[in-house]
Amino acid sequence: MVRLSALVCVQNQDAQLSECLRKLSFCDEIVVVADRCTDRSQEVARRQGAIVIDGIFPLESQRKAAGVEACSGDWILEIDPDELVDAALAWEIRAVLQMRPAGDWYDLPIDNYVGETRVRDGWAGALSARAGARLYKRGLKAWEPRRVNAPAVMAGKPGGALTGAIRRSLGRDVGGLMERLNRLTALSAEDMADAGRATSLAAGLFTGAGTFLRGYVGRGGWREGRLGLLTAMLSAMFPVLTQLRAGDVMAARNLASTEAAQVSRLPDVVGLAAR
């Protein structure tokens, strides 16, 4: 029998976590990485029988690597707290793993929901993906060091995509979608500041315009009505807001560094005054 581990990384999302874990009961074990959680996430996870890894993991890549290390399964199913695996997809995953998998990792489609409305088309940029390499043999996936949307590097042979899809909730309503944009751009700005890249509003606007056209026109966002238009607009705002917020982060860091340097020189100044 192939042993399957589910990996869930959580940051103060206890309201969503219980249902997410309940839907993963078909796995042989569940590993939950609780990153700086101050809510009931750990309690919820343990009540569901999960293995809980507590810690401080500033980077998404660190959280996922710690979770993979704790998994004992031959295969890993990677799920976020705002995602659900229905019975049909659970059965398909188990069937694929038991019938001599054709590859070492598989893409899983993602159905994105705003409230109870599924938004099929138009996703572009970093707000959400339409698919991801979420089912893979242990040890074959690595992540670049980022706080959010860390690009993955896959080893081994791809097995293609499964038919069933993960259900992802992007918020109860439009306000929830905008909260998601706010949270993700804040983390992305920190990544940009860490990289020391010069910020450019013009570059953000240029990228945003291309993102809008790609999502709304190229990927059929226009078919989704007002939600498709909103999705394309928010996706286009992502690079603009990231650039602006990265500039604020870098300015704050420079100010803190200057103040720290001034404080460190105080003893020398006091000594000279005493002499």
Token pair, residue 46, equals 């343990």
pLDDT given for residue 267 in this prediction: 66
Residue type, 127: L
Using 50, 70 and 90 to split pLDDT, how confident is the model at 200? confident
Distance in angstroms (rounded) separating the CA atoms of residues 130 and 247: 30
Find out whether 85 and 24 touch, Cβ atoms under 8 Å: yes
Query: Looking at residues 47-75, what average pLDDT do you find?
Result: 95
CATH superfamily of 4-169: Spore Coat Polysaccharide Biosynthesis Protein SpsA; Chain A (3.90.550.10)
Cα Rg of the chain, angstroms: 22
Pairing of strands 166-169, 83-84: antiparallel
pLDDT given for residue 270 in this prediction: 54
DSSP state of 176: H
Distance in angstroms (rounded) separating the CA atoms of residues 33 and 143: 16
Is the pLDDT score of 273 beyond 60? no
- Using CA atoms, how far residue 234 sits from 83, 202, 209, 237, in Å, is 21, 17, 11, 5
Residue extents of the structural domains in the chain? 4-169, 174-265
CB neighbourhood size of 18 (10 A): 16
Token pair, residue 194, equals 């860490």
Tens digit of pLDDT for each residue in 94-152? 999 998 888 999 999 999 999 899 888 888 778 888 899 999 999 999 999 999 988 99
Query: Looking at residues 213-235, what average pLDDT do you find?
Result: 90
Query: Looking at residues 192-197, what average pLDDT do you find?
Result: 85
Residue 112's DSSP bridge partners are 119, 168
CB neighbourhood size of 266 (10 A): 9
Find out whether 112 and 128 touch, Cβ atoms under 8 Å: yes
